[in-house]
Amino acid sequence: MKPDSVPSDIGWRLPRGVSRQVWDRAADPEAVLRDERAAADLDNADIAWVLGQLSPGDRLVDLGCGGGRLLEKAAPACSMVAGVDVSWPGLKRAKERMDQTNRASCLIRADLAELNALSTGAFDVAACLFSTLGMITPHDSRSAFLGHVRRILKPGGRFLVHAHNRWWHLGTPAGRHWLLRDCWMRFRSAPEAGYFRHPDVPAHAPTLAHYGRKELTTLLRAHGFVNVSVAPVHGPTGKSWLAYGWHVMATAPA
């Protein structure tokens, strides 16, 4: 089906790995544009990072592709690009972009926790950018997603992730308050531990899971990935411990 041919609510329940806030946001065309503006404010550093990891002829899948920012830029270097997202407005924008490239592409509407439509060993590179990993909830859905990523990568395939840094919150009063509360939640093994939503954003805005370096390394290794490396994405302070996020590289076992 073409992304612009079917309304977003036909035949769909609330997907397994998607919160109500994320689901409602996925139906909003303005949310796609807001995300792109936010990425542009950060100089699209996530896209530049992924492009630097590609090899000629790679088959790339962008998991949580949004409006196709990465797909458009990566297509010239790849033999094929695919994008997966739950948002019809996002996929429609991605299709408009890809129609201009004349490159092989595939756009799929799917919950990232349920990727059975993607073949085993089909891709050389899987990307999950702009903290999409942190939007997948609850924990068992995130685990299912990571299991699918390992499955769809070829042996030795690369998994590239952008995630938010939980320690960045040391730099703000609201963040420090959240960190104290989150430490208590983790001590209690509460399911909401690790999730942050800024107090100044609207109530319908989604929460995001934030991670420490060791937490990300442990998470990916637990799902069978090897050669995991985590590097800070620096914020305006230039201090790694106050970085906004992480760029994570991991490899599917050979």
Render pLDDT for 204-225 as a digit per residue (tens, 0 to 9): 567 788 899 999 999 999 999 9
Task: Provide the residue range defining the domain that includes 94.
Answer: 20-163+208-251
Tell me, yes or no, whether 192 lies in a domain.
no
Mean pLDDT lowest among 37-41, 60-64, 126-130: 37-41
pLDDT (tens digit per residue) in 141-185: 999 999 999 999 999 999 999 998 988 888 888 888 888 988 888
CB atoms within 10 A of CB 61: 26
Tell me, yes or no, whether 33 lies in a domain.
yes
Tell me, yes or no, whether 225 lies in a domain.
yes
Tell me, yes or no, whether 46 lies in a domain.
yes
Q: Is the pLDDT of residue 237 over 70?
A: no
Half-sphere exposure of 59 (CA within 13 A, CB side): 12
pLDDT of residue 29: 85
What total of structural domains would you count in the chain?
A: 1
Tell me, yes or no, whether 13 lies in a domain.
no
- Which residue has 């937490």 as its token pair? 215
pLDDT category of residue 26 using cuts at 50, 70 and 90: confident
Tell me, yes or no, whether 54 lies in a domain.
yes
- Which residue has 């308050």 as its token pair? 177
Q: Is the pLDDT of residue 4 over 60?
A: no
Tell me, yes or no, whether 151 lies in a domain.
yes
pLDDT of residue 67: 94
DSSP the chain: --TTSS-TTTT----TT--HHHHHHHT-HHHHHHHHHHHHHTTTHHHHHHHTT--TTEEEEEET-TTTHHHHHHGGGEEEEEEEES-HHHHHHHHHHHHTTT--EEEEE--TT--TTSPTT-EEEEEE-TTGGGGS-SHHHHHHHHHHHHHHEEEEEEEEEEEEEGGGGGGSHHHHHHHHHHHHHHHTT-TTTTEE--TTS-TTSPPEEEE-HHHHHHHHHHTT-EEEEEEEE--TT--GGG-SEEEEEEE---
Tell me, yes or no, whether 198 lies in a domain.
no
The CATH number linked to 71 is: 3.40.50.150
What percentage of the chain exceeds 90 in pLDDT? 52
pLDDT of residue 184: 86
pLDDT of residue 1: 43
**Residues contacting 146, CB < 8 A, separation 6+:** 219, 220, 223, 225
Mean pLDDT computed over every residue of the chain: 86
Q: Is the pLDDT of residue 195 over 90?
A: no
Handedness of CA 47, 120, 249, 59 (dihedral sign): negative
